[in-house]
C-alpha cells in the first residue's frame, strides 16, 4: 500500500492493458449496480457485497500467503477507511442509482478528486493554484448541470446526485487517510478487512431483513455477482497492480475515463439518456479532474480505489 520510491518512467504495454481493463470494470459496473440495487432490497444487497468482497479478498491474500492479521497501528486506519469507503459509499451509491440514472451517478461519484483537493486546501494546509480552483468550479458546474437536468427529467431525481455527492466526499476522506497510514499488510488484505469491518453495520441490518425476502430476481443476482467479483474485487486488484507498473499519475487517468464508460454503458444496457447535457457535464468533469490529478514527476501515494 505504500508508494514505491522510484516510480517507473516508462509505461509498459501490460500496464496499459490493465488500465483499459480497470476502466471497463469500474465503468460498466455502474449500470450493473443499478440492476442489482433496484432488484434487491438495499441492505441485503449491500450485505452480500460486503461479505462477498471481504471473504474473496482475504481468501486471495491467504492464497498468496500474505499477512492477514491487522497490526495494532493499522486498526484505526482500517476502521476509518472502512466506514468511509464501505459503509457510507455502499449505501450512497446503491441509493443514488435508485433515484437517478447510473450515468449521472457515475459523474457525481467521480467528483471525488475535487473534494480531495478542497479538503486538502481547507484543512491540511495545502496551497492551491488558480488552475485547481478553476477545476473545482468546472466540477461543480457539471454537478449543477445534472441537478438541473434531473429537476426537469422523468428519468430520475436531483436527490440521487446529492446522495452520490455525499458518497464522493467520504471517498475523498478515505483516499486522504489511506495516503497517511503506514500500511503493514497488503492492499488485498486491506480491502478485505475494509469490507468486513466497514460493512459490519450493513451486514447486521441485511441479515435481519433476509427472512423477509421472498424473491431473488435472476438479473439482480447475476448483477450482484458481477459487482462483487468484477466491479469491486477484480477492479481493486487491477488498481493496485497498475500502481506497481506505472506512475501514479498514469493510474489516475482511469478516473477521467470511467464516467464516460459509465454513461455509454448505461445508455447501451439500460436505455438511459445520453444527450448534450450528459456530454457537456462529462467534459466539465474531465476538465475539472484533470487540474487536480497527480502530474508526472510528483510524488503521490496509491490512494483508495473505488468501491462500487
pLDDT, tens digit (0-9, with 9 covering 90-100), for 106-129: 999 988 888 888 888 888 887 878
- DSSP, res 74: G
- Whether 41 contacts 95, CB under 8 Å: no
Q: Which of 21, 19, 20, 37 is nearest to 270 (CA)?
A: 37
- Which grid cell sits at 280? 457537456
Task: Tell me the range of 2-11, 67-76, 146-155 where mean pLDDT is highest.
Answer: 67-76
pTM, rounded to two decimals: 0.85
Taking residues 288-308, what's their average pLDDT? Answer: 62
How far is residue 177's CA from residue 119's CA, in Å, rounded to a whole number?
A: 12
Number of H helices, E strands in the chain: 15, 0
Output the pLDDT for position 24: 94
How far is residue 276's CA from residue 288's CA, in Å, rounded to a whole number?
A: 18
The pLDDT confidence band at residue 163, using thresholds 50, 70 and 90, is: very high
**CA 13, 17, 18, 22 torsion: positive or negative?**
positive
> How many percent of the chain have pLDDT more than 90?
48
The yes-or-no verdict on residue 4 having pLDDT over 50 is no
- Whether 104 contacts 218, CB under 8 Å: no
- Within 13 Å, how many C-alpha atoms sit on residue 164's CB side? 31
**What tens digit of pLDDT does each residue of 224-272 get?**
999 999 998 888 878 877 777 766 656 666 677 889 999 999 999 999 9
**What tens digit of pLDDT does each residue of 262-276 get?**
999 999 999 998 888
Q: At what angle do helices 42-63 and 218-226 cross, to 10 degrees?
A: 40
Output the pLDDT for position 150: 64
Output the pLDDT for position 288: 86
* Backbone φ/ψ region at 131: left (φ over 0), alpha (ψ -120 to 50), beta: alpha
Amino acid at each position: 500500500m505504500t508508494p514505491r520510491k522510484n516510480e517507473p518512467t516508462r509505461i509498459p504495454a501490460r500496464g496499459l492493458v490493465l488500465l483499459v481493463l480497470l476502466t471497463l470494470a469500474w465503468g460498466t459496473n455502474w449500470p450493473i449496480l443499478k440492476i442489482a440495487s433496484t432488484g434487491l432490497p438495499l441492505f441485503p444487497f449491500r450485505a452480500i457485497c460486503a461479505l462477498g468482497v471481504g471473504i474473496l479478498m482475504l481468501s486471495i491474500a491467504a492464497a498468496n500467503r500474505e499477512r492477514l492479521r491487522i497490526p495494532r497501528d493499522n486498526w484505526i486506519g482500517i476502521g476509518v477507511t472502512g466506514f468511509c469507503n464501505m459503509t457510507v459509499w455502499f449505501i450512497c451509491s446503491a441509493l443514488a442509482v435508485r433515484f437517478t440514472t447510473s450515468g449521472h451517478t457515475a459523474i457525481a461519484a467521480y467528483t471525488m478528486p475535487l473534494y480531495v483537493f478542497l479538503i486538502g486546501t481547507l484543512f491540511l494546509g495545502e496551497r492551491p493554484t488558480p488552475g485547481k480552483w478553476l477545476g473545482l468550479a468546472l466540477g461543480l458546474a457539471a454537478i449543477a448541470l445534472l441537478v438541473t437536468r434531473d429537476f426537469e427529467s422523468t428519468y430520475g431525481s436531483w436527490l440521487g446526485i446529492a446522495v452520490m455527492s455525499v458518497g464522493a466526499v467520504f471517498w475523498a476522506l478515505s483516499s486522504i487517510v489511506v495516503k497517511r497510514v503506514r500500511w503493514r499488510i497488503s492492499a488485498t488484505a486491506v480491502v478485505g478487512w475494509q469490507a468486513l469491518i466497514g460493512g459490519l453495520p450493513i451486514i447486521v441490518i441485511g441479515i435481519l431483513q433476509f427472512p423477509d425476502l421472498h424473491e431473488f430476481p435472476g438479473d439482480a443476482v447475476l448483477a450482484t455477482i458481477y459487482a462483487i467479483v468484477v466491479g469491486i474485487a477484480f477492479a481493486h486488484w487491477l488498481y493496485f497492480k497498475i500502481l506497481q507498473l506505472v506512475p501514479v499519475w498514469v493510474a489516475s487517468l482511469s478516473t477521467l475515463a470511467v464516467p464516460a464508460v459509465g454513461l455509454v454503458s448505461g445508455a447501451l444496457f439500460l436505455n438511459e439518456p445520453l444527450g448534450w447535457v450528459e456530454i457537456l457535464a462529462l467534459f466539465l468533469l474531465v476538465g475539472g479532474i484533470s487540474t487536480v490529478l497527480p502530474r508526472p514527476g510528483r510524488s503521490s501515494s496509491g490512494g483508495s480505489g473505488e468501491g462500487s
